[in-house]
């Protein structure tokens, strides 16, 4: 299947478009030979790039950009009729690139919201190496919540933290609640040690976290390890779909994480990048 980058955050006209993570392709437009630098995010579906009207019929767009996976380069270009350009990329994943993942997730949740309400649950790996990543989430949480609430969405946030010590899976939850400061304090209090089983944690979240009826629902999985556990990834995805939960991932290069985000309507981001 062919997938397409989403529209740039700012069109050449200066008109804001859908939010996107910073990315720096160069589009060379012929015969005018004008260059335009924009921002693109890879995501399923075909989305137009807003081109100035003066380029008109017969212009051509061409360019090259690097896929987020090392060593995978993609060249793109095709003749353009008048109107928006279409960029098509074969084999791309719905992956966010660069920028601020949590703010990008907030923007995606705003764009996709259908109910005016949102239950947002963070599934936080609290194994031994995760403390810096949890702190980043905690310190970004208020800003993320303000952005979502500023769009007129009734937001409740929760956390399920998970780790594994001496072959015992440990879970602790808070919320969902409208008290975002309380959730932040919970995140800051998390002690990190042991191992983790992310697939099992996702299944546990469906049991433990009480989501409201008639709301948009999203999980954000935060982990620095590949997914493992007794539960099969197919079962996790099936359950997420049945519960109407989109799963976003701040994670590592892992085909299971890519698949989880893709098949539930979320986006995968690399946890190693600063945010």
Q: What is the pairing mode between strands 154-165 and 85-86? A: unpaired
Average pLDDT over residues 170-175: 98
CATH superfamily assigned to domain 101-270: von Willebrand factor, type A domain (3.40.50.410)
Average pLDDT over residues 90-118: 80
pLDDT of residue 59: 37
- List of residues 6+ apart from 189 with CB closer than 8 A: none
Q: Residues for the chain: how many in total?
A: 275
Would you say 151 and 115 are in contact if contact means Cβ atoms under 8 Å apart?
A: no
Q: What is the mean pLDDT of the chain?
A: 75
Residue 60 has pLDDT above 70, yes or no: no
pLDDT of residue 73: 34
Kindly report, as residue ranges, where domains of CATH 3.40.50.410 are found in the chain: 101-270
pLDDT of residue 100: 87
Residue 99 — very low, low, confident or very high, per pLDDT cuts 50/70/90? low
Residue 250 has pLDDT above 80, yes or no: yes
Tokens matching residue 231: 């539960």
Give me the torsion for CA of 19, 84, 97, 160, rounded to 10°: 50
The model's pLDDT over 222-242, given as tens digits with 9 standing for 90+, comes to: 999 999 999 999 999 999 999
Rounded Cα distance between 114 and 153, Å, is: 10
Average pLDDT over residues 94-101: 65
Query: 226-257: b or e for each residue (b if 16 or more CB lie within 10 Å)?
Result: ebbbebebeebbebbeeeebbbbbbbeebebb
pLDDT of residue 133: 96
0.85 surpassed by pTM: no
Average pLDDT over residues 261-266: 96
pLDDT of residue 258: 97
Average pLDDT over residues 184-193: 97
Give me the torsion for CA of 208, 213, 218, 224, rounded to 10°: 0
- Considering only residues 124 and 72, tell me which one the structure prediction assigns the higher pLDDT: 124
Residue 81 has pLDDT above 90, yes or no: no
The model's pLDDT over 4-45, given as tens digits with 9 standing for 90+, comes to: 344 444 444 444 444 333 333 333 333 332 333 333 333 333
């Amino acid at each position: 299947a062919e997938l397409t980058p989403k529209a740039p955050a700012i069109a050449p006209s200066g008109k804001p478009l859908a939010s996107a993570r910073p990315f720096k392709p160069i589009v060379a437009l012929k015969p005018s030979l004008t260059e335009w630098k924009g921002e693109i995010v890879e995501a399923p579906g075909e989305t137009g790039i807003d081109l100035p009207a003066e380029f008109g019929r017969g212009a051509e767009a061409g360019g090259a950009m690097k896929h987020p996976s090392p060593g995978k380069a993609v060249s793109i270009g095709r003749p353009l009729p008048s109107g928006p350009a279409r960029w098509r990329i074969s084999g791309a994943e719905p992956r966010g690139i660069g920028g601020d993942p949590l703010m990008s997730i907030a923007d995606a949740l705003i764009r996709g919201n259908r109910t005016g309400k949102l239950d947002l649950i963070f599934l936080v790996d609290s194994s031994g190496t995760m403390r810096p990543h949890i702190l980043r989430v905690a310190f970004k949480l208020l800003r993320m919540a303000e952005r979502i609430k500023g769009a007129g969405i009734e937001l409740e946030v929760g956390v399920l933290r998970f780790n594994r010590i001496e072959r015992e899976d440990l879970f602790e939850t808070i919320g969902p609640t409208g008290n975002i400061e309380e959730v932040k304090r919970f995140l800051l209090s998390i002690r990190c040690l042991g191992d983790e089983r992310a697939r099992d944690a996702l299944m546990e979240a469906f049991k433990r976290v009480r989501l409201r009826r008639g709301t948009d629902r999203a999980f954000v999985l935060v982990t620095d390890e590949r997914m493992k556990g007794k539960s099969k990834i197919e079962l996790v995805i099936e359950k997420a779909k049945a519960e109407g939960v989109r799963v976003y991932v701040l994670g590592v290069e892992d085909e299971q994480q890519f698949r989880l985000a893709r098949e539930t309507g979320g986006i995968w981001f690399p946890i190693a990048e600063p945010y």
